[in-house]
Chain A
Amino acid sequence: MSRTKIVLAGEGGQGVQSVAKILVEAGYEAGKQVLYIPNFGVEQRGGVSIAFCQIADEIIGEPRFAKGDIIIMLSDRAIDRCAAYVDENSTVVYDTSVCTKKPEVKCKEIIGVDANRIANEQLSARVFNIIILGVLLEATHVLKLEDIKNAMEMALGKKFDAKPELRDLNYKALDMGMGLINQSLGV
């Protein structure tokens, strides 16, 4: 039985939940079993925002899991909060251009990506989360690029139609995110 457990964590406002929604929508449309829990506090802004996502071939039992297969940490506080979800089978991805430290966890592999710097310098700060979506897509290999693009159309299609250059920008961000993982792994 194949089940991929994903934890996506960052600061409120970084777009963590938006990315998670696109990811699970893509999974649903692709005919997978999916389950998504947004974790949230009482704050409207700020605080650590965590998304727990599961994508599977068979019906999913537990809604919350103890350890993730892939854990994405997008801030120092996210690193602190999410260490508990890591074990020796986990892949940990963190953003070296946001975090001031490296996660100190025992896991299968730790991958550093500088998505925030790339977003700011080469694309736009607004597509930082889409770069992360690309990272996630390439790191998990459970969904196809086409599935993600379809889900992006569902979420952002109206904005894309109004400003077609946004579609290019987002696709570019997605592509760069996928490239970041390959660079880090030396593929």
Chain B
Amino acid sequence: MVNKLIKEDTRMFLTGNEVLAYAANSAEAEFMYGYPITPQNEIMHTWCKLLPKTGAGFLQTEDEISAGFSTIGGILAGKRAFTATAGPGNVIMQDAQSMAEMMRIPFVCAVMQRGGPSTATVIYAQQETRLTCFGGNGEGFRIVYSTAGHQDLYDYMIKAFNTAWKYRFPTYVLADGYQGKMREPVTLYDPASRGITMVPTQKFLLGEGEIGKDRKSVHMRNTYNMEEELMEVLEGYKADYDKISEEIQEWEEYKADDAEILVIAHGIVARSARTAIDELREKGIKAGLFRPITIRPLAVKPLREAVSRAKRVLFTESANGQLAQMVLEKLYGLSTPYETLFKMGVGVTGDDIVNKVEAMTAAAI
């Protein structure tokens, strides 16, 4: 067991990366594996700075391939382990992430998106949305929470550990360089004070007792000889994933009930959309927001209902429609027209959204 540092509600003024390190500690994480890449380095810096007090562990590996597989190794050894990465690091960690998917490892990873492709910028983007949801050679049996600020980072990092350990699908906190580097007030708390019980860490291998007598043998596989054998396993995973999807899906609506123009955005762009919607409402334009919090799996039913109520939809992202692509597939059959405001690797401001929605309104008159 590690020492938890946050025992009562504590208001702090932190960067998002610092918040994530505290959240992992509050979620009783025991070990972090990682390799430095901007803009997420301070997660491991903070984690390490806290080690003398927490008694947790850290290993800086030689690269993200190793960080990913070491995280799996740590979990198989019975530790509540996690990692964090960004950009090209997220790309080369996909092999390990696919293995976690195949072996149903409760792999927790914070992704702080930066601009792409390749090295690109170290600052900000929403261009790892598709990669985080569907990267690797598999079907994307993953759970991805997209956060919109520091309170979210704390809340959902804690939740990510519970989701991963309960359902045993790789679970992600998908944020970005702005959230990692920016500083804003946040309230840290002991999960128990919010009625949150942490799912206990479980030893998958090296359990107590004698195999065959006290317990069954454990055989965790990522290799299959027969095509049919693989499909049978994956059909089981798919059934599990579909079954839990409604249970874990989360979304937020803001003034969406009577919205004529529905903005669909995730993460920090959704936060800019809220600023824009307040301004548009003051001008008499009925705008509203639908923000998927789990972008994998998506909350399909509420999404379809909100889109059906609106006259028009605006997709906005700091990417070229990576979320829109996933959402549009789920909106098949609906005829609500849509427009887009995509800024690849650049922050979307409230003004950007106000101007776009005003142009859409003017065109409709």
Write out the residue numbers on chain A whose beta carbons fall within 8 Å of the beta carbon of B276: 62
Contacts A34-B13, A35-B182, A38-B181; A64 near B122 (Cβ below 8 A): no
Min CB distance B319 to A, Å, is 15
CB-nearest residue of chain B relative to A31?
B185
Min CB distance B123 to A, Å, is 7
CB-nearest residue of chain B relative to A42?
B122
Write out the residue numbers on chain B whose beta carbons fall within 8 Å of the beta carbon of A186: none
Contacts A60-B184, A63-B271; A37 near B350 (Cβ below 8 A): no
Does residue A39 face the partner (Cβ distance < 8 Å to B)? yes
Chain A, 61-94, CB within 8 A of any chain B CB: 61-67
Chain B, 240-266, CB within 8 A of any chain A CB: none
CB-nearest residue of chain B relative to A37?
B182
Assembly CA distance A64 to B269 (angstroms): 10
Interface pair A28/B13, CB less than 8 Å apart: yes
Does residue B54 face the partner (Cβ distance < 8 Å to A)? no
Write out the residue numbers on chain A whose beta carbons fall within 8 Å of the beta carbon of B352: 66
Write out the residue numbers on chain A whose beta carbons fall within 8 Å of the beta carbon of B272: 61-64
Write out the residue numbers on chain A whose beta carbons fall within 8 Å of the beta carbon of B268: 63
One digit per residue, 1 when the CB lies within 8 angstroms of any chain B CB and 0 when it does not, for chain A 17-38 equals 0000100110010000111111
Does residue A41 face the partner (Cβ distance < 8 Å to B)? yes
One digit per residue, 1 when the CB lies within 8 angstroms of any chain B CB and 0 when it does not, for chain A 35-59 equals 1111111100000000000000000
Interface pair B181/A37, CB less than 8 Å apart: yes
Number of A-B contacts (CB under 8 A): 68
Interface pair B123/A33, CB less than 8 Å apart: no
Assembly CA distance A66 to B350 (angstroms): 8
Contacts A39-B123, A40-B123; A62 near B181 (Cβ below 8 A): no
Contacts A40-B122, A40-B123; A61 near B275 (Cβ below 8 A): yes
Residue from the list A21, A41, A61 in contact with B271, Cβ < 8 A: A61
CB-nearest residue of chain B relative to A36?
B183
Assembly CA distance A25 to B149 (angstroms): 18
CB-nearest residue of chain B relative to A52?
B182
Assembly CA distance A35 to B178 (angstroms): 11
Does residue B142 face the partner (Cβ distance < 8 Å to A)? no
Interface pair A63/B182, CB less than 8 Å apart: yes
Please classify how large the interface on chain A is, using the bins under 10, 10 to 19, 20 to 34, 35 or more.
20 to 34
Residue from the list A28, A42, A62, A66 in contact with B185, Cβ < 8 A: A28
Interface pair B351/A67, CB less than 8 Å apart: yes
Interface pair A62/B349, CB less than 8 Å apart: yes
Interface pair A35/B278, CB less than 8 Å apart: no
Write out the residue numbers on chain A whose beta carbons fall within 8 Å of the beta carbon of B179: 63
Write out the residue numbers on chain B whose beta carbons fall within 8 Å of the beta carbon of A42: 38, 119, 121-122
Does residue B135 face the partner (Cβ distance < 8 Å to A)? no
Interface pair A36/B184, CB less than 8 Å apart: yes
CB-nearest residue of chain A relative to B349?
A66
Does residue B347 face the partner (Cβ distance < 8 Å to A)? yes
Does residue B274 face the partner (Cβ distance < 8 Å to A)? yes
Chain B, 1-54, CB within 8 A of any chain A CB: 13, 38
CB-nearest residue of chain B relative to A65?
B349
Contacts A36-B184, A67-B351; A61 near B123 (Cβ below 8 A): no
Interface pair A24/B349, CB less than 8 Å apart: no
CB-nearest residue of chain A relative to B275?
A61
Write out the residue numbers on chain B whose beta carbons fall within 8 Å of the beta carbon of A65: 349-351
Q: Which residues of B contact A (CB under 8 A)?
A: 13, 38, 119, 121-123, 149, 178-179, 181-185, 268, 271-272, 274-276, 278, 347, 349-352
Identify 20 residue pairs between A and B in the complex whose beta-carbon atoms are under 8 Å apart, listed by A's number: A24-B13, A28-B13, A33-B184, A34-B183, A36-B183, A40-B181, A41-B122, A42-B38, A60-B184, A61-B272, A61-B274, A61-B275, A62-B275, A62-B276, A62-B350, A63-B272, A63-B347, A64-B178, A64-B349, A65-B349
Q: Which residues of A contact B (CB under 8 A)?
A: 21, 24-25, 28, 33-42, 60-67
